[in-house]
C-alpha cells in the first residue's frame, strides 16, 4: 500500500478469452498522479491498448474503476467509472454513475476490474472477494436489466439488457436503477459476451485518519442538508427542475435543436413531475441529497425521468405528454438504452423525415410508435438496425450532417449551445465527445445557476471552460457525484435572482473579470495549497488517503487527466478538426428567442488551446507535459500523436 490509504491497492484482471484471472497492484505513482475513476482508467488504456484497436474486438479493454472515497461513507460517493475505447465515437469512452456495484467491488477487496478478451458464449463474472469465477449466463440471455439483476441474487451488480447483447452503439450498463448511459460501454460489454458482473465482500477500507475523516464528513453532510441547492431544489424537483428555466432562457433543445424554447415546457418539467407523479425521493448509497424520483404511472411505481430524458423525449420530438415520457424512460432502462442518444436519434430521424431524406415513420409530434421503435432499436429489427448506430452514422447514410446534433460521434445533451456559447465550446472540446459534464457543465454558469455569466459573451468563456473541465475531472476521479459541486456557490448567492440590480452587477463582474480566471490558470498549484470550506472534497481526500490533496493539487490532477485523455484521442486520429460543432450551431442563428446567436467557435478555440498549454493544432506541448509529469508517460506515443496530425494536414 506504500502508506496511501483509502485504496485496496489491487486491481482484478479477467481475460474472458482464456479464462485466466489474475491480480495486479495499483502503483503508488498512479494513485498520486491520477487519483481514481476515469483518470486511472485512462492511464491503463494509454499503456495497454494498442493504437487503432477496434472498439468491438476482443482486444478492447473494459475497465471498471472506483475512487479513494468510494465506500468510505463520504457524501454521494457510491460513484464508479466504466471506461473503454468507445464504439460510438472511437474516442476515450467513460461513463460514471451511482448504484451499489462500486462499493461492493471495493468491499470485495478490489479498486478496479479490467476485463479483456471475449467469451465463447454468454457469461457473467462472479466476484466473492478473492474467489472469482466466470460462469455460464445462458439463463440470462435476452433478459432485461431488472430481470437480470433479480436473477443474480445478493451483491452489487452491473448488467446489460438486450441492447448490449445486440451491440447497439449506445447501450448502457445498469446497476440497481442507475445507468452508465454515455459512450456505449454496454456495447463493449456485449461485444465480450459478458451479461453481468456480480461482486460482494466484507472487507473494510482503511483510512489515514479515521476520526478526523468522520468529523469532516459530518460537517460536510450538514452543509449539504442546509444548502439551498442540495437541501431544497434538488430533493424537491430533481434535475428536471432546471427544464423551465432552460426554455425561458432559450437554451432548451426543441424540435431537433431547431429552437431554444418550448411552449409546453411546463407540462414536462420537474415541477409538473413533482406535483402530479412523485411518490417519493430516493438516492444512491451514502447520498444525503436524494434527487432521484420514484413516480407512479397507473398501478406501477418506477424511476422517474431526469432532465435529459424529459427534454429529448419531450420538447426535442414535440411531445408534451409526461406520462408517455415516464413510460418510455422506464422501457429504455429495461432495454439498456441511453436516453440522451436515443432521444437525439428520434429527433434527427424526425427531421430527416420532414425534409424527405429518409421516411422512417418517425415524425415530430407522433408518439404512438415510439415504444415499438425503442424495442426495434434494442433488437436491431427493421429501421432499428440503422437507428442503433447513432446520429453520426445516420447523417453519413441519409444526409443532414449540418443538423446532426453530435460531436465526435456522441449525441449532444439537453442544452442548446447557441443559448450558452461557453457550453458550446465545452461540447466541442470534451474528450468523450458531446458532453455537458466532461465539457465543464458551463450551462450552470451561463443559464440555469443562481449566478451567471452573460451566456453569449465569447471572450470570457475559454478560461471558464478550462477551469470547470479540470474541476469536473477531479471531482469524478475523487469519487463524488458532481452534484456535490453545487455547494461551491455559497448560500447567499442563491438569493441573487430575487434582486435584479445585484444580480446584474454580479453577472457583469463574473463576465468581465475573465482575465482573473485566465491568470489563475497560469499559477502553479502551490499558490492554492490550502483547503476552502465550500470545496470539502479536498480535505476529505487528504484525510482518507494521507496524500497531499489541497485545492491546487486537486485541480492539477484534473488537468493532468484531461491532458492524457486528449493524448489518447490524438493517438487514435481524433485531431483538432473534431473540436467542432455541426453547422446548425455555428452558422445558423436560433430561430426564436431574444439572443438570436450562433456559437463563435473559431474565436474561442485558439484561446482555449493557449490556456491549456497546447499548440495551435491542439496538441499538448512538451513544456505542458513536463509540468504535469506526463512527458515520460506520453513519450512512447508522442511520435504517433504528431504523425496523426501531419496525416490530417495532408
Q: pLDDT averaged over the chain?
A: 95
Render pLDDT for 458-471 as a digit per residue (tens, 0 to 9). 999 999 999 999 99
Q: Under 8 Å CB-to-CB from 576, ≥6 apart: which residues?
A: 605, 617, 618, 645, 648
Give helix 551-571 / helix 537-545 axis angle, nearest 10°: 90
Render pLDDT for 154-173 as a digit per residue (tens, 0 to 9). 999 999 999 999 999 999 99
- 8 A C-beta contact, residue 422 and residue 397: no
Residue 286 pLDDT grade (very low, low, confident, very high; cuts 50, 70, 90)? confident
Q: What is the pLDDT of residue 562?
A: 98
Residue 647 pLDDT grade (very low, low, confident, very high; cuts 50, 70, 90)? low
Question: CA-to-CA distance for 51 and 255, rounded, in angstroms?
Answer: 39
468 to 334, 428, 461, 485, 561: CA distances (angstroms): 33, 14, 10, 11, 13
Residue 193 pLDDT grade (very low, low, confident, very high; cuts 50, 70, 90)? very high
Q: What is the pLDDT of residue 571?
A: 95
Q: Quick one: which of 212, 96, 203, 215 has its CA closest to 158?
A: 96
Length, in residues, of the chain: 650
Question: CA-to-CA distance for 159 and 97, rounded, in angstroms?
Answer: 13
Asked if residue 234 has pLDDT above 70, the reply is yes
Q: What is the pLDDT of residue 594?
A: 55
Q: What is the pLDDT of residue 482?
A: 87
Tell me the mean pLDDT in the region 73-96.
96
Q: Which of 33-42, 449-458, 556-565 has the lowest mean pLDDT?
A: 449-458
Tell me the mean pLDDT in the region 446-461.
93
Rounded to 5 degrees, what angle do the CA atoms 191, 196, 199 make?
A: 135
Tell me the mean pLDDT in the region 436-442.
94
Question: CA-to-CA distance for 367 and 361, rounded, in angstroms?
Answer: 11
Q: What is the pLDDT of residue 313?
A: 98
Render pLDDT for 477-534 as a digit per residue (tens, 0 to 9). 999 998 888 888 889 999 888 888 999 999 999 999 999 999 999 999 999 999 999 9
Residue 221 pLDDT grade (very low, low, confident, very high; cuts 50, 70, 90)? very high
Q: What is the pLDDT of residue 633?
A: 96
Rounded to 5 degrees, what angle do the CA atoms 436, 321, 405 make?
A: 30
Copy the grid coordinates of residue 323: 406520462
Q: What is the pLDDT of residue 650?
A: 57
CA 430 to chain CA centroid, Å, is 10
Asked if residue 296 has pLDDT above 90, the reply is no
pTM across the whole model: 0.96
Question: CA-to-CA distance for 253 and 110, rounded, in angstroms?
Answer: 41
Asked if residue 648 has pLDDT above 50, the reply is yes
The residue written with cell numbers 413531475 in the block is 273
Render pLDDT for 251-268 as a digit per residue (tens, 0 to 9). 999 999 999 999 999 999
Asked if residue 44 has pLDDT above 70, the reply is yes
Tell me the mean pLDDT in the region 546-566.
97
Q: Under 8 Å CB-to-CB from 500, ≥6 apart: which residues?
A: none
Tell me the mean pLDDT in the region 637-648.
78
Q: What is the pLDDT of residue 642?
A: 83
Q: Quick one: which of 123, 58, 111, 112 has its CA closest to 85?
A: 58
Q: What is the pLDDT of residue 505?
A: 94
Asked if residue 1 has pLDDT above 50, the reply is no
Q: What is the pLDDT of residue 607?
A: 98
By percentage, how much of the chain surpasses pLDDT 70?
98
Amino acid at each position: 500500500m506504500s502508506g496511501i490509504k483509502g485504496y485496496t491497492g489491487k486491481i482484478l484482471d479477467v481475460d474472458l478469452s482464456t479464462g485466466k484471472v489474475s491480480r495486479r497492484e495499483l502503483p503508488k505513482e498512479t494513485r498520486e498522479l491520477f487519483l481514481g475513476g476515469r483518470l486511472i482508467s485512462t492511464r491503463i488504456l494509454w499503456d495497454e491498448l494498442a493504437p487503432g484497436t477496434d472498439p468491438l474486438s476482443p482486444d478492447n479493454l473494459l475497465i471498471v474503476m472506483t475512487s479513494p472515497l468510494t465506500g468510505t461513507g463520504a457524501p454521494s460517493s457510491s460513484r464508479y467509472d466504466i471506461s473503454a475505447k468507445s464504439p460510438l465515437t472511437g474516442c476515450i469512452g467513460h461513463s460514471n454513475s451511482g448504484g451499489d456495484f462500486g462499493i461492493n467491488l471495493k468491499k470485495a477487496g478490489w479498486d478496479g476490474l479490467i476485463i479483456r478478451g471475449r467469451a465463447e458464449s454468454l457469461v457473467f463474472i462472479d466476484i466473492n472477494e478473492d474467489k472469482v469465477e466466470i460462469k455460464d449466463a445462458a439463463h440470462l440471455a435476452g433478459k432485461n436489466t431488472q430481470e437480470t439483476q433479480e436473477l443474480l441474487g445478493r451483491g452489487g451488480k452491473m448488467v446489460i439488457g438486450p441492447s448490449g447483447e445486440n451491440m447497439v452503439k449506445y447501450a448502457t450498463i445498469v446497476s440497481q436503477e442507475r445507468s452508465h448511459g454515455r459512450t456505449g460501454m454496454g456495447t463493449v460489454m456485449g461485444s465480450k459476451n459478458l451479461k453481468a458482473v456480480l461482486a460482494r465482500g466484507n472487507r473494510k477500507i482503511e483510512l489515514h485518519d479515521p476520526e478526523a475523516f468522520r468529523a469532516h464528513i459530518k460537517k460536510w453532510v450538514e452543509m449539504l442538508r442546509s444548502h439551498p441547492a442540495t437541501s431544497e431544489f434538488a430533493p424537491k424537483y430533481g434535475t428536471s427542475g432546471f427544464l423551465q428555466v432552460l426554455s425561458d432562457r432559450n437554451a432548451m433543445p426543441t424540435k431537433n435543436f431547431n429552437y431554444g424554447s418550448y411552449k409546453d415546457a411546463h407540462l414536462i418539467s420537474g415541477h409538473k413531475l413533482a406535483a402530479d407523479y412523485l411518490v417519493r425521493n430516493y438516492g444512491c448509497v451514502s447520498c444525503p441529497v436524494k434527487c432521484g424520483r420514484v413516480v407512479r404511472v397507473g398501478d406501477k411505481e418506477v424511476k422517474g425521468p431526469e432532465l435529459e430524458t424529459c427534454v429529448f423525449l419531450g420538447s426535442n420530438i414535440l411531445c408534451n405528454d409526461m406520462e408517455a415520457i415516464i413510460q418510455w424512460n422506464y422501457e429504455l432502462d429495461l432495454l439498456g438504452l441511453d436516453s440522451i442518444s436515443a432521444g437525439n436519434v428520434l429527433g434527427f430521424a424526425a427531421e430527416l423525415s420532414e425534409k424527405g431524406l429518409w421516411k422512417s415513420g418517425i415524425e415530430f409530434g407522433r408518439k404512438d410508435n415510439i415504444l415499438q421503435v425503442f424495442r426495434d432499436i434494442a433488437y436491431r429489427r427493421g429501421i432499428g438496425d440503422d437507428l442503433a448506430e447513432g446520429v453520426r452514422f445516420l447523417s453519413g447514410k441519409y444526409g443532414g450532417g449540418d443538423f446532426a446534433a453530435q460531436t465526435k460521434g456522441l449525441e449532444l445533451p439537453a442544452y442548446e449551445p447557441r443559448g450558452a456559447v461557453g457550453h458550446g465550446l465545452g461540447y466541442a472540446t470534451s474528450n468523450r465527445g458531446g458532453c455537458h459534464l466532461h465539457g465543464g457543465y458551463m450551462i450552470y454558469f451561463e443559464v440555469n445557476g443562481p449566478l451567471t455569466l452573460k451566456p453569449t459573451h465569447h471572450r470570457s468563456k475559454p478560461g471558464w471552460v478550462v477551469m470547470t473541465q479540470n474541476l469536473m475531472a477531479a471531482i469524478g476521479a475523487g469519487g463524488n457525484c458532481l452534484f456535490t459541486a453545487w455547494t461551491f456557490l455559497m448560500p447567499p448567492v442563491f438569493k441573487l435572482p430575487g434582486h435584479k440590480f445585484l444580480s446584474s452587477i454580479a453577472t457583469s463582474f463574473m463576465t468581465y473579470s475573465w482575465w482573473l480566471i485566465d491568470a489563475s490558470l497560469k499559477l502553479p498549484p502551490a499558490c492554492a495549497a490550502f483547503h476552502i470550506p465550500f470545496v470539502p472534497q479536498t480535505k476529505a481526500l487528504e484525510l482518507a488517503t494521507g496524500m497531499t490533496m489541497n485545492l491546487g493539487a486537486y485541480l492539477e490532477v484534473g488537468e493532468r487527466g484531461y491532458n492524457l485523455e486528449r493524448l489518447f484521442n490524438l493517438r487514435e486520429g481524433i485531431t483538432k478538426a473534431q473540436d467542432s460543432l455541426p453547422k446548425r450551431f455555428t452558422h445558423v442563428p436560433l430561430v426564436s428567442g431574444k439572443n438570436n446567436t450562433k456559437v463563435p467557435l473559431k474565436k474561442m478555440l485558439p484561446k482555449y488551446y493557449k490556456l491549456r498549454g497546447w499548440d495551435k493544432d491542439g496538441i499538448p506541448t512538451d513544456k505542458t507535459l513536463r509540468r504535469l509529469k506526463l512527458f515520460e508517460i506520453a513519450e512512447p506515443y508522442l511520435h504517433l500523436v504528431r504523425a496523426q496530425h501531419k496525416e490530417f494536414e495532408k
